[in-house]
Amino acid sequence: MSKRTAEYWIKKLQLATHIEGGAFKEIYRSPVLAPMSALPAGFSGDRNFCTSIYFLLQQHQFSAFHKIKSDEVWHFYCGDALIVYEIDQQGQLIEHRLGCDPENNESFQCVIPAGNWFAARLAPGGEYALVGCTVSPGFDFTDFDLAKQEELIATYPAREQIIKEMTLL
C-alpha cells in the first residue's frame, strides 16, 4: 500500500475548510447535555458532554492561535509530526509534538487545558498530519475565541515571534 496523501484523507473523510486553518469534520457530538448550572462559570448555555472532530493540516497551513472554554485532547492518527503550541495562563510557551516516533519526543496525545491559547503546524519537512480533537464539555462556537495578533502580543510580549507566525489577524 502506498502512502496516503492529504487529498486522499480530505476526500475520504469529507473534510471541509476550518475557520482557524486546515480541514475538519465533526464526527461525534454526545446526545447527552450538561446543563449550564453544572458547568464552570463563563458558559452561556447547556453543552453536549463531548464532541470530536477529524482535523488535517498540510505543510502550507497552520491552525491559528485560539482558545476555548473546555479542555481539548489532540490525538495523532497518521501522516507527519505536528507541533501544537500552547501559551498557558502565566505566558509559558509549551510545545507539544504529536506523532508516532517516541524517540523524537513525539506523543500520540496532548491536552490543552480550557482557556489556554493554542495553535498548530507541521514539524519542518512534513507534508500533512491527520489528527483528532476531542472537547469536553463539548465544543460550541460561542466558546471559541480566535486570537487578534496585536491583543495577544500585548498580553504576552515575550511570545511575539510565534504569535506573529501563528495568527490570522
* Cβ contacts of 107 within 8 Å, gap of 6 or more: 76, 96, 97, 98, 99
Segment 40-78, tens digit of pLDDT: 999 999 999 999 999 999 999 999 999 999 999 999 999
Bond from prior residue into 157 cis (ω within 30 degrees of 0): no
Please report the pLDDT score of residue 149 as a whole number.
Answer: 97
Segment 108-150, tens digit of pLDDT: 999 999 999 999 999 999 999 999 999 999 999 999 999 999 9
Distance, in Å, from the CA atom of 113 to the CA atom of 144, rounded to the nearest integer, reads 14
Question: Can you give the pTM of this predicted structure?
Answer: 0.95
With respect to residue 142, please indicate whether it lies within any of the assigned structural domains.
yes
**Which CATH number fits the domain that encloses residue 56?**
2.60.120.10
Q: ∠ at Cα 76 (125, 167), nearest 5°?
A: 60
Number of domains in the chain: 1
With respect to residue 148, please indicate whether it lies within any of the assigned structural domains.
yes
CA-based nearest residue to 3, from 79, 71, 67, 77: 79
With respect to residue 1, please indicate whether it lies within any of the assigned structural domains.
no
> Domain of 76?
6-34+46-165
Confidence of residue 2 (pLDDT cuts 50, 70, 90): low
With respect to residue 128, please indicate whether it lies within any of the assigned structural domains.
yes
With respect to residue 41, please indicate whether it lies within any of the assigned structural domains.
no
With respect to residue 16, please indicate whether it lies within any of the assigned structural domains.
yes
